[in-house]
Amino acid sequence: MGGWRDMPAEVGPGAAGCVSPVAAARCSRCRPQALEEQYSPSRWSPRLGSDTVIQAHTAATAAGTRRARASTQTALHVPYGDGDGEKLDIYLPPDPAGTFPVLLYIHGGYWQCLSKEESGFAAPPLVSQGVALVAVGYDTAPRGHMDTMVLQVRRSVVFLVKRFPATRGVYLCGHSAGAHLAAMVLSTDWTEYGVVPDIKGAVLVSGVYDLEPIMHTYVNDALNMSREVACRNSPLLCVPPAAPAGCEVLVAVAQHDSPEFRRQSQEYGQALRAAGWSVSMLDLAGVDHFDIVEKLSEDSYVLTQVILNLISRA
């Protein structure tokens, strides 16, 4: 499968009169149309139209979060920093006084939409099995810069380790842009934070792990990333050696994700393996970029069961 650089441009960079590569990347007339389509997940869903599937996803995750809040013991809007977006929603298991594993859920939305308010939908199946779910809020673009978002998610992990010192391990789960942020957590040099979180597993769902092609799409209109920013925040380019204690990583992709999303997942999984990480790949049939996580509200859903099995093995 070819990479994004092989995709034909509708018009060549600079054809619209842009005098620099950066200007050309931001100009809609200079962008490769094929690349735009590859990084437009809603265009690949066979069940709903492009706009409708996004609206349905937001509605489904928001409704699921409301149900989770109504049926679960929670601590909502817990600040982990001073920023407006630096808050967590914590969904606690039936015995919150005991020790329990903690799963951090990091939402998607292309780093510019959605929030923790739509991120608690997966809590009921986990909480019923004694796992706490924490929905992480962060400052999305244009308010939040890519460097800031990565730093915030890392700091949320540090906060939780200190709040729950007796936790039975920390697990990460991120979707789309959230999978990118979770992968950046895996690349963290924790000596800078004075704490080494016991991250036992990570579930990365339909993620983006190389940000350079994003620079050449509409997504960067809000992010305003330079190539330097994109490179230093690309998990594929900063894979660390596997931690001695070990951390199981599951890289999941949907049947109806675009070929580029599927390629990125494959290449990131291979890069982790080459660095000594324990990696599993999961290609989920019959789902698209959106319902691959929406179904985490269901106890019997295969990815729900995979996550619970991953936690139970630790």
Candidates 107, 119, 289, 291; catalytic one: 289
Tell me if residue 221 is catalytic: no
Candidates 176, 206, 265, 297; catalytic one: 176
Q: What are phi and psi of 279, to 5 degrees?
A: -125, 135
Q: Where are the beta strands (DSSP E) in the chain?
A: 73-79, 87-92, 102-106, 132-136, 170-175, 199-205, 248-254, 278-284
Candidates 210, 257, 288, 291; catalytic one: 257
Tell me if residue 57 is catalytic: no
Tell me if residue 257 is catalytic: yes
Residue 254 is which amino acid?
Answer: A
- Give the separation between CA 35 and CA 245, rounded to whole angstroms: 39
Contact call for residues 101 and 311 (beta carbons, < 8 A)? yes
Active site members: 176, 257, 289
